[in-house]
Amino acid sequence: MQIHSTLRMGAFHSNHCEDFLIYEPAGTHHWLFAVMDGCTMGCESHFAAALCGKLLRKVAKKHFYLSDFDEAENNTAFLKVVLNEMVLELKQVKNSLDLDVNELLTTLVLALVDTKEKNAEVVTIGDGLVSVDGKITVFDQNDKPDYLGYHLADDFESWYKTLDQRISIKGFKELGLATDGIFTFRKKQGNTTQDDWKLHADFLSHSSTEQHPNWLTNQLNELTDNGKWILNDDLAIIRIISA
């Protein structure tokens, strides 16, 4: 399995990149992947994205040492367990630090990958993009994402049933996850069209046999630093090649 990732601060931000990403083994043949986008209108939103990422990493490490799901075929159940444990950890941090909801606003694109069977379960909370073997699915909530932080007081079981931005994947070759910053490229000169983002999504989220670990960062540099495009919003991307 190859993993490519990149994280970039957009032109709209000057102090912090408000996106975050993690990938971590969660068992002998399970990996956890996530990209997060902190709410710009929230309070210190880079903190919320990074905090959720680090809590997810903690949960993944626990299951890696236990290897309690390695023989389980129900990846959907494993993903639910991971999300539930992360939410519980987040509630504890909120209470310990006396955090306000506005300090915990972040989107989340979360994927559990079975590297043995080449299967994956993905859930998106808020906005984001998922690419599976070149087929792109966009989750767009019209700039009003239903952030994870809004639901910390909810009953988890009831809230989880309402999460309908899910994808079950069987036998994938390439899987890409991205925050909604991927939609915010604009031309340095000339007019940007509504469909331009599709070119960048296609360019960055799949279609490469290159194995260099910095490939994705180099491609983003080609578009921005040395190219004709400006990235307005922060961007986090992970690409997984199963072969």
Residue 22 has pLDDT above 90, yes or no: yes
- The strand order across the sheet containing 106-114 reads 19-25, 30-38, 106-114, 119-125, 166-169
**In this predicted model, what pLDDT tens digit does every residue of 191-211 receive, in sequence order?**
766 666 666 666 666 555 556
Q: Residue 81, SS3?
A: helix
CB 150 within 8 A of CB 101: yes
Region 58-85 average pLDDT: 83
Domain residues of the chain, as ranges?
A: 2-241
- Of the ranges 11-20, 31-40, 159-168, 233-242, which one carries the lowest mean pLDDT score? 11-20
Paired strand residues for 111: 33, 122
The model's pTM is 0.91
Q: What is the pLDDT of residue 70?
A: 58
State how far Cα 75 lies from the chain centre.
Answer: 18
CB 62 within 8 A of CB 74: no
- Of the ranges 3-12, 106-115, 126-135, which one carries the lowest mean pLDDT score? 3-12
Count of other CB atoms within 10 angstroms of residue 157: 9
* 36: its two tokens: 């997060």
- Superfamily of 2-241 according to CATH: PPM-type phosphatase domain (3.60.40.10)
CA dihedral 66, 80, 233, 149 (to 10 degrees): -110
Residue corresponding to tokens 């700039």: 143
Region 113-123 average pLDDT: 93
* 64: its two tokens: 């890696």
- Closest to 31 (Cα-Cα) out of 5, 84, 69, 87: 69
- 105 band by pLDDT with thresholds 50, 70 and 90: very high
Distance CA 184, CA 9 (A): 12
Q: Residue 143: which residues within 8 A CB-CB, separation 6 or more?
A: none
**In this predicted model, what pLDDT tens digit does every residue of 46-62 receive, in sequence order?**
899 999 999 999 999 99
- Closest to 180 (Cα-Cα) out of 216, 207, 206, 142: 142
Q: What is the pLDDT of residue 231?
A: 82
Q: Residue 212: which residues within 8 A CB-CB, separation 6 or more?
A: 218
Residue corresponding to tokens 């509504």: 194
Residue corresponding to tokens 């767009």: 140
- 230 band by pLDDT with thresholds 50, 70 and 90: confident
Of residues 42 and 175, which shows the higher confidence score? 175
